[in-house]
Amino acid sequence: MAESEFEYSEHPHRRYNPLRGEWILCSPHRAKRPWQGATEEIPPDTRPEYDPNDYLGPGNFRSGGKAQNPNYADTFVFDNDFMALLPDTPDGSVGEIDKGDLFVARAVKGRCRVVCFSPKLNLTIPEMEREDVVKVVHAWTEEFLRLEKEPYINYVQIFENKGEMMGCSNPHPHGQIWSSGFIPAEVEKELENLKAYEEKHEVGMLEKYVQDELTKKERIVCQNDSFLCVVPFWALWPFEVSTTACRSTNVLLPALRSALDAFPNRRW
């Protein structure tokens, strides 16, 4: 019996993620299985533009009733009232534990900031006007540049947990900026793999990946002269995209800020 030809879209296989140095299992044929499990309907968004009980609303008191927000009209940034990382964590041996290489702990310092994208409770980033999105990016950039000057900060991560299913504790559209004295393990692993790839191939991994994706044109979601958004070849999640700068840059946010004029005057 002749062996059938392998097809990525039909046969199970493993795909290598060069950023993490890990293999993932792909079973594309399972997408054909019947589904009689749970289905969800998108609930209607009935949030008002303003709610006096919104802890993040302009002029409102935050949780606990001590801090009051200013009557902000644009993007508003402040220290998280419930920081995961604290700037005054004790240094040295006070914060260190090591018992037989089994029970090991190290104190960490950091600072967590909250970014309210807009004063409106019912407005998320994809729905905002371009000039208002620019203000958010400017706030990200300013916060990044300020935090990186802190002597105890070695890493800054800007992100958004969106919606109840992601564990977002407040319905007001907002993001987080976590800065820490340590580099997270996943990021450290990616940095090591990026360095190893460039040493082996004499070209940057992401630079080469962008070139290949632009040539293949198989997984591109959207693009402009500055950034490329694709479903990565090694995607792990059902819905996953990767956005990469089209040109090499040491610090992404200033590059993003300078590239805003390249954005089309429309929503992606």
* Location of structure tokens 């591109």: 220
3-state percent helix, strand, coil for the chain, nearest multiple of 5 = 25, 20, 55
Contact 176, 159 (CB under 8 A): yes
Q: Which of 11, 13, 174, 201 is catalytic?
A: 174
- Annotation says 11 is catalytic: no
The C-alpha atoms of residue 106 and residue 211 are separated, in whole angstroms, by 41
Distance CA 155, CA 137 (A): 18
H-type alpha helices, the chain:
130-147, 185-201, 205-216, 252-258
Token pair recorded at residue 94? 């006070």
For residue 103, what are the CA distances in angstroms to 92, 120, 182, 183?
17, 46, 19, 21
**Catalytic residue list:** 174
